[in-house]
Amino acid sequence: MAVNRVPVLKRCRSLGLEPAFLGYDKKSNRTSPRAGKKVSEYGLQLREKQKAKFIYGVLEKPFRNYYKKADKMKGMTGENLMTMLETRLDNVIFRLGFARTRREARQVVGHKHVTVNGKVINIPSYLIKAGDVIAIREKSKSLQRYKDIVEVTGGRLIPQWLDGDMEALKGTVKELPSREVIDVPVNEMLIVELYSK
């Protein structure tokens, strides 16, 4: 299995991203050495794709598959792509505040701590549907890890398309998110342009 081992702050700096979008509260004081250089159109498109891949923790092949799926769906390809990335199980766990970062959410899912509609799911890329109930397993709820996580993420805003209960470590997907409610700084139109060449 391929693993992304790039230091988070370094990658954020090169992509011009705020670490807060990934759940990190650290700040990087250094500037990117390429700051101020003119970027080609292809460079801009590539950067947007790399940003989306990095934020959601998706590697190239699965990302391309998401794009192909999004292209076949009705509606705007870019918006479909963002909705699919946003409804990945690891992202939903992060959004509900059951993990501090998306990387941690991926680990929580992989270690079989999560149930969807009462069934244990350990696939981070599992796509959630409207009406799904996501919860931390009864066995895992008493772990010190979740007490620590809730302490950190308790004040985090849960998106309007989700309904979360931090006490019970449980959440419901009210509806699939539209592009307007996804607060990720990615221009998906540039990704579509890149892939449609």
> Residue 104 gets which letter from DSSP?
H
H or E element, residue 80: helix 77-86
> What fold, for 88-176?
3.10.290
Distance CA 161, CA 174 (A): 5
Q: What is the largest CA-CA distance in the chain?
A: 53
* pTM score of the predicted model: 0.88
Helix then strand then coil, in percent of the chain rounded to 5, is 45, 10, 45
Q: What is the pLDDT of residues 82-117, one digit of tens each?
A: 999 999 999 999 999 999 888 899 999 999 999 999
For 19-31, the three-class secondary structure string (H helix, E strand, C coil) is HHHHCCCCCCCCC
Whether pLDDT at 154 is above 60: yes
Say what percent of the chain tops pLDDT 70.
91
State the virtual CA torsion across 136, 177, 193, 38 in degrees, nearest 10: -80
What ranges do the domains of the chain cover?
Answer: 8-85+185-195, 88-176
Distance CA 186, CA 174 (A): 24
Could you say which of 1.10.1050.10, 1.10.15.40, 3.40.50.300, 1.20.1730.10 is the CATH number of the domain covering 8-85+185-195? 1.10.1050.10
Q: What is the pLDDT of residues 30-41, one digit of tens each?
A: 655 555 678 899
Task: Give residues with Cβ within 8 angstroms of 29, minimum separation 6.
Answer: none
Please give the single-letter amino acid code of residue 86.
E
